[in-house]
């Protein structure tokens, strides 16, 4: 039997009377990895900030781990780990000192704290850098340290706000493996990302936001079946391409074969990014 551990019901967030999040309703089940996708300004980060008690909704109800994020913020904080897209580890402390400080903030007992620090630094492959100053680490190592720190108090829910932004492809894929392994251990994860390939690789379900609203949800494969498994792409000009969805690759190929002039046309499988562009009218920034 499924259990909802993250719930948003008719949530609004206004800044200067402008709705940044506009009537958002969403449920995420225990053990699910959910990807929240959308262009800059869609409301993804604001949604994460509300879910993690950093800002209150203007209207609506939000519960995380069965606690109200406004009325029971302290209980929520005990059950969540958060990795924001900004690097938030202290560059003037060592790797170990960053973990130690976080462990003390969460009142992890002395006898257990050192063991956990070792365990999670080992998990993100930073145990051999534990005495190094954070300022000497690469961007990918700092991101891995943020994940280790977020796991130290052993939360049941993890929020990842664009965790791989700005990283090279090899480092990004190493982080994917770390994140996916957390999912196999039963952790509930909400991920925002600008990378469609990342969402397809990691997420059980995705939600597409635009202008503060959730405009589509589903598994990546279900969305491909809904909008079309194949595309005919036609180059209209140097800057413009036309995308036409078809239910199957065979139907797309038959359409192409029927054209008297096939110049500038090609057929391929559809991807999640194609559906994103179809729904939002623009590519990710």
Please say if the pLDDT value at position 230 is more than 90.
yes
Q: Where are the beta strands (DSSP E) in 138-247?
A: 157-161, 188-193, 205-210, 213-218, 230-235, 241-246
Cα separation of the two ends of the chain: 39
Q: What is the pLDDT of residue 282?
A: 60
Q: Confidence band (pLDDT; 50, 70, 90) for 121?
A: very high
State the pLDDT confidence band at 275, using cuts at 50, 70 and 90. very high
Count of residues making up the chain: 285
Q: 43: which 2 tokens?
A: 């409301």
The angle at the Cα of 282, spanning 9 to 35, to the nearest 5 degrees, equals 40
Residue partners of 107: CB distance under 8 A and separation at least 6: none
Buried b (16+ CB within 10 A) or exposed e, 143-172: bbbbbbbbbbbebbbbbbbbbbeebeeebb
Across the range 16-35, mean pLDDT stands at 95
Fold of 4-217: Rossmann fold (3.40.50)
Q: DSSP for 24-58?
A: EEEEEETT-EEEEE--TTSSHHHHHHHHTTSS--S
What is the distance between the alpha carbons of residues 28 and 178, in angstroms, rounded to a whole number?
Answer: 21
Give the pLDDT of residue 98.
96
Helix (H/G/I), strand (E/B), else coil: 8: strand
pLDDT at 285: 44
Q: Using the Cα atoms of residue 152, residue 153, residue 154 and residue 158 in order, give the sign of their dihedral.
A: negative
- Averaged pLDDT, 207-224: 95
Average confidence score pLDDT of the chain: 92
The mean per-residue pLDDT over the stretch 49-59 comes to 96
The set of residues, in sequence order, having a beta carbon less than 8 Å from that of 120 and lying 6+ positions away, is 99, 148, 149, 151, 152
Q: Where are the domains of the chain?
A: 4-217, 229-269
CA dihedral sign, ordered 10, 12, 17, 19:
negative
> Distances from the Cα of 279 to the Cαs of 18, 115, 130, in angstroms?
22, 47, 45
Tokens of 220: 């990546």
Hey, which of 172-186, 220-234, 271-285 has the most confident mean pLDDT?
220-234
Least confident of 64-73, 153-162, 235-244, 275-284: 275-284
Instruction: Tell me: pLDDT of 133 over 60.
Output: yes
283: number of Cβ within 10 Å: 11
pLDDT at residue 284 is higher than 60: no
């Amino acid at each position: 039997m499924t259990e909802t551990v993250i719930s948003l019901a008719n949530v609004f967030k206004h800044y200067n009377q402008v709705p940044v999040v506009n009537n958002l309703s969403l449920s995420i089940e225990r053990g699910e990895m959910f990807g929240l996708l959308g262009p800059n300004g869609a409301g993804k980060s604001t949604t994460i900030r509300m879910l993690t008690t950093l800002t209150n909704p203007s209207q609506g109800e939000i519960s995380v781990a069965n606690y109200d994020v406004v009325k029971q913020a302290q209980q929520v904080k005990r059950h969540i780990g958060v990795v924001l897209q900004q690097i938030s580890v202290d560059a003037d402390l060592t790797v170990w000192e960053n973990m130690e400080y976080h462990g003390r903030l969460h009142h992890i007992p002395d006898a257990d704290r050192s063991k956990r620090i070792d365990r999670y630094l080992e998990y993100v492959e930073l145990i051999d850098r534990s005495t190094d100053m954070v300022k000497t680490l690469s961007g990918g190592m700092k991101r891995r340290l943020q994940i280790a720190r977020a796991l130290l108090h052993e939360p049941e829910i993890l929020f990842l706000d664009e965790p791989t932004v700005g990283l090279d492809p090899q480092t990004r894929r190493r982080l994917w493996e770390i994140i996916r392994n957390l999912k196999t251990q039963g952790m509930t994860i909400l991920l925002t990302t600008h990378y469609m390939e990342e969402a397809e690789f990691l997420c059980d379900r995705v939600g597409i936001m635009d202008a503060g609203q959730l405009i589509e949800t589903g598994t990546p494969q279900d969305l491909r079946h809904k909008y079309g498994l194949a595309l005919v792409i036609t180059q209209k000009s140097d800057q413009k391409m036309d995308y036409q969805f078809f239910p199957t690759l065979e139907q797309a190929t038959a359409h192409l074969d029927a054209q008297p002039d096939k110049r500038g046309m090609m057929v391929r499988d559809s991807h999640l990014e194609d559906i994103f562009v179809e729904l939002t009218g623009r590519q990710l920034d």
